[in-house]
Amino acid sequence: MDRIAIEGGTPLFGDIPISGAKNSAIKLMAASLLTSEPLRLTNMPRLADTRLLGRLLTRLGTQITESDGPDGQETILHTPEITSAFAPYDLVRQMRASFNVLGPLLARTGHAKVSLPGGCTIGARPVDLHLKALEALGAHIDMHEGYVFAQAPRGLKGAEIEFPFVSVGATEHALMAATLAQGTTVFKNAACEPEIEDLALCLNAMGAKVSGAGTPTIVVEGVASLHGADWSVICDRIEAGTYAVAGAMAGGEVRLTKVRPELIQILLDKMVEAGCEISTTADTVTIKRGAGRLKPVDVTTGVYPGFATDLQAQFMALMTMADGESVIRETIFENRFMHVPELGRLGTDITVHGPEARVRGVEELRGAQVMATDLRASACLVIAGLAARGETVVNRVYHLDRGFENLEGKLSACGAKIKRLKSDDPMPEELE
C-alpha cells in the first residue's frame, strides 16, 4: 500500500486550485442513468470513488469518455439503453454511494437488483430511509441474500415524503427517482447540502422540474423523460476546508482558487476566532496564521449549514496547536474519533468521552508513523504532519485517493516537503 511521507515545519506559500466535489460528482454520475442521451460533466475530479462508480455504470450499460477539455477535466456519460439492472456486491461494497444507482434504474426500467452496501468504519449508515422513500413512490421492495429487489412495472408515482431525520443520501436518492415519477412529489425535512442543490440544478438542465433544493422542502413535478446536458460540478467544500486548515497549521500564506467561500463560511469564522487571518473574493480564500499561538475554539458538528462532520478531524488537528483547551462535539457519526489515537502518536493531548473530545493544545507536534482509518482522518494526519517537527509517515493512504485529487502535488507546489511512497519503496532518511 502507498504511504505519504512529510517533513514538517515548512511554511506554505502559493495557490491551491480546488477540484470538483466528490460528493456531488458521484451522484451526478448516477443521474446519467436517467436519460438515454449523453451527460457531459466538467470540473470533474479524478478520484478512486469516481473510477469505482464508473466501473459499475459501465456494467449497467453506460459508455464513459474522459478527457481534458476547454473547461478542464470532463467526463461524458452516455447510456443509450440499460443493458443490465443488476449491481453486484463486488462493485457496490467498495463504495456506499454506488447503492444510489437503485433509484435511477428503477425509475427508468421499472426494476433493479442492487446489493446492499458494505459497512462503514465511521458509524452505522443504514439505507432504510432510501428504501422507504422508494416504497412511498410506489416501488415494491424485497430483500434477501444481501440484495434489494425493486419493482415498479407501471412506473413510480408522486408522493409526499417526510424524512424522520435529515439524510443527505436518502434525499439525493429519492430526488433522482422522483424526476421520472408520475405526478408531484414533495419531500419534507430534506437535507440542504450544496451538493443536493447542485444535483437538482443538473437534473433541471436535463429537463426535470425540481424546486426548493437547498431548503427543507423540495418539490418535484415528474416528467416523462430526461435529455442530455452539460454541467459543471460544484467546487469541493471539504477539500477547500482541508487546505484552509493546512495553510493555518503550516504557516505562511495560501490562496485557495476556484472556490465558493460561502460554502465553508462557518469553518472560516471558527478559524478567524482562533486567530487566523482570512480574506475572500467571489472565488478565492486567502489564509494566513497570525503571530503567536492559536486560540482554542469549540465546535459542534451538524447538518448543513452547521459545521461539517467531514471537517471535524481536520479542525481538531488545528486545535492541537492552540494555547488552551478546545471541545469538539460530534453529532453526526458515532465512531468519528478514530483519528484521535493516531494524532496521539504525534504528541497531542486529546481525551474522548462519548461524542465529545477535549483537545489540550501542545507547543509542538513531533513526527511519527501513523495509520489512516478513513478518508477525512487521512487528511487530518497529513496536515498535522505539515506542522510536526521531523518526519511523519501516513500509512494506508488509499483512503485519501477516494476523495482528494493529487493532494501531495497541490501541497508540494506550495513548498511542502511531501512525497508519496509506493509499497516497495524504502523508507526515506530525509525528504529532498
Provide the pLDDT confidence category of residue 430 given band limits of 50, 70 and 90. Answer: very low
Question: Which of residues 423 and 222 earns the better pLDDT score?
Answer: 222
Instruction: Grade residue 422 by pLDDT with cuts at 50, 70 and 90.
Output: confident
210 is in an annotated binding site: no
From the list 75, 70, 208, 220, the residue with the least C-alpha distance to 137 is 220
126 is in an annotated binding site: yes
pLDDT of amino acid 427: 54
d(CA 9, CA 286): 20
Q: What is the DSSP string of 178-219?
A: HTTSBSEEEEES----HHHHHHHHHHHHTT-EEE-BTBS-EE
- Residue 22 labeled ligand binder: yes
49 is annotated as contributing to ligand binding: no
Q: What is the pLDDT of residues 170-182, one digit of tens each?
A: 999 999 999 999 9
Query: Any known ligand binding at 96?
Result: yes
338-359 burial code (b ≥16 CB/10 A, e <16): bbbebbebbbbebeeeebebeb
Write the pLDDT tens digit of every residue in 263-299: 999 999 999 999 999 999 999 999 999 888 999 999 9
pTM over 0.85: yes
Q: Which residues are catalytic?
A: 120
CATH numbers and ranges of domains, the chain: 3-19+235-421 (3.65.10.10), 22-232 (3.65.10.10)
Torsion angle in degrees (nearest 10) through CA of 363, 369, 374, 380: 30
Cα(121)–Cα(205) distance, integer angstroms: 36
Write out the DSSP string of 279-336: EE-SSEEEEEEPSSPBPP--EEB-STTSB-GGGHHHHHHHHTTBSSEEEEE--S-TTT
- Say how many C-beta atoms besides its own lie within 10 A of residue 413's C-beta: 15
| Residue 153 is labelled as binding a ligand | no
Could you read off the pLDDT of 36-72 as tens digits, one per residue? 999 999 999 999 999 999 999 999 999 999 999 887 8
127 is in an annotated binding site: yes
Lowest mean pLDDT among 66-70, 148-152, 246-250: 66-70
State what percent of residues in the chain have pLDDT above 90.
88
Cell numbers representing residue 230 in the block: 452539460
